[in-house]
Amino acid sequence: MKPMTSKTATTSLSGYNRELIVALAIVALQAIATIFFLIDSIDEIILQISAGIDFAVIAECLIAIALLAGVVLGARHTRKLMAEARRRESALAVARGALAEMLDLRFAEWQLSAGETDVALFAIKGCSVSEIAILRNTAAGTVRSQLSQIYAKAGVTSQSMLISIFIEELL
């Protein structure tokens, strides 16, 4: 049986990359704004040193420093969130692999044929008889017959009971 890779895993990964790019772009934009305000504040202080520095320039400098602190904290927090997302994605990949191995083991134990294995996978994914027939390009009666054989080999009487075997093992 092939590993359980799917379009959703690719979509999830590309969504993760998109979120990473957006987060990095926001932090970069904040950093550029911070540099601009810091340079502007320093320039005004230099211009006003001889005449005396007024409250507006001091407030502008404090705001620029607060913005810098916000950028640094935001960047650190974003980095932590991205690291956590990578850890979770890794754990999910391990779980997918474990489920695929568990399916392989059970299907071998039940001595399912190649066709029964395909039907069992679709059934575990929640597909109806008609959906499985369309996906396998077979008659619905053939799928029903294969499902009956699968249920008998697995010692269950329904699709939900078949699914519950794997859910129980994962829990």
Torsion of the alpha carbons at 86, 89, 93 and 94, rounded to the nearest 10: 70
DSSP secondary structure letter of residue 127: -
Read off the pLDDT of residues 94-153 as tens digits, 9 standing for 90 and up. Answer: 777 778 888 888 899 999 999 999 999 999 999 999 999 999 999 999 999 999 999 999
Q: Using CA atoms, how far apart are residues 154 and 105, in angstroms rounded to an integer?
A: 12
pLDDT class for 7, splitting at 50, 70, 90?
A: very low
**Distance (Å, rounded) from C-alpha 162 to C-alpha 158?**
6
pTM, rounded to two decimals:
0.50
Helices (H) and strands (E) in the chain, counts: 6, 0
Q: What does the alpha-carbon distance between residue 28 and residue 71 come to, in Å, rounded to a whole number? A: 9
Read out DSSP for 73-102?
HHHHHHHHHHHHHHHHHHHHHHHHHHHHHH
**pLDDT for residue 142:** 93
| Mean pLDDT of all residues in 5-12 | 47
What backbone torsions phi and psi does residue 70 show, to the nearest 5 degrees? -65, -40
- Residues 41-93 pLDDT 10s: 888 888 888 777 788 888 888 888 898 898 889 888 888 888 888 888 877 77
The predicted pLDDT at position 2 comes to 44
Nearest to 102 by CA among 116, 120, 85: 120
